[in-house]
Amino acid sequence: MKFKILLMSFAASAMIFTSCDDGKKEKAEKEKMEMEAQREAEMEAENAKMEMESNSIAAKAMETDTLSTLVSALQTAEMAALLKTDDGPYTVFAPNNGAFAKVKKATLDTLMLQKNKSKLGDVLKYHVVEDEISSQELVEMINDNDGKYTISTMGGGELVASLKGDKVILTDENGNTATVIQPDVDASNGVVHIIDAVVMRKPVQ
């Protein structure tokens, strides 16, 4: 009888140990699955980030030969990273190389100096809107506002958009104009409209 009780005790102990082992295995397996799911989620997020950056406004500008001066200016002003990694959305009125060629060489050379990157940044921010506006939406806004629509820019300034035939014209605070010559270059974090002149804010008195 004692032997039978002892045998039953051993059997019960074995079942308990087996149950504990099974519980540990299940816990380890669950933790492993959770870690794999986390790694997979991190990889998907990284891939999505890389996809976004490869199609960002900055990436589109870098792929466009006629925007090489703008790209250099963005890099000097340390704004390229913003237009590459930030979700936005942004609208960029991007002056092409011909637009920068119209700026006095001495003025442009001075702005492109590292010590003047803050001033250059102010000029570039005047070309950026913290919203995504397609050319169609812009034309509708112009038509809905008696032929003129005021755009607030990242730099705190204003541009006035109007139409000349089927072209969108931007008038800066000094009364100078730029024409949108290539609209709707779509990017992952906004849209680019290429213009033929550099717009400038009115100097602070």
Distance of CA 34 to the CA centre of its chain: 31
106: tokens are: 């001495």
Residue from 181, 197, 202 nearest 102 by CA: 197
Judge whether 178 lies within some domain.
yes
Q: Which residue has the higher pLDDT, 26 or 172?
A: 172
Q: Each residue of 137-172: pLDDT tens digit? A: 999 999 999 999 999 999 789 999 999 999 999 999
In the predicted structure, residue 9 carries a pLDDT above the cut 90 = no
Split at pLDDT 50, 70, 90, the class of 35 is confident
User: What's the confidence (pLDDT) of residue 54?
Assistant: 78
Judge whether 150 lies within some domain.
yes
Judge whether 42 lies within some domain.
no
Q: Quick check: 185 and 194 in contact, CB under 8 A?
A: yes
Model pTM score: 0.77
Judge whether 34 lies within some domain.
no
In the predicted structure, residue 73 carries a pLDDT above the cut 90 = yes
* Mean pLDDT estimate for the chain: 86
Split at pLDDT 50, 70, 90, the class of 21 is low
For residue 196, CA distances in Å to 55, 102, 119, 169, 182 come to 23, 9, 21, 10, 9
Q: Is the peptide bond before 183 cis (omega within 30 degrees of 0)?
A: no
Number of domains making up the chain = 1
CA angle centred on 118, ends 149 and 69, rounded to 5°:
75
- Domain at 141, CATH number: 2.30.180.10
Q: Each residue of 81-139: pLDDT tens digit? A: 889 988 989 999 999 999 999 999 999 999 999 999 999 999 999 999 999 999 999 99
Using CA atoms, how far apart are residues 21 and 26, in angstroms rounded to an integer?
A: 9
Residue 103: domain span: 55-195
Strands, E, within 58-119: which ranges? 90-95
Judge whether 105 lies within some domain.
yes
% residues pLDDT > 90 (the chain): 67
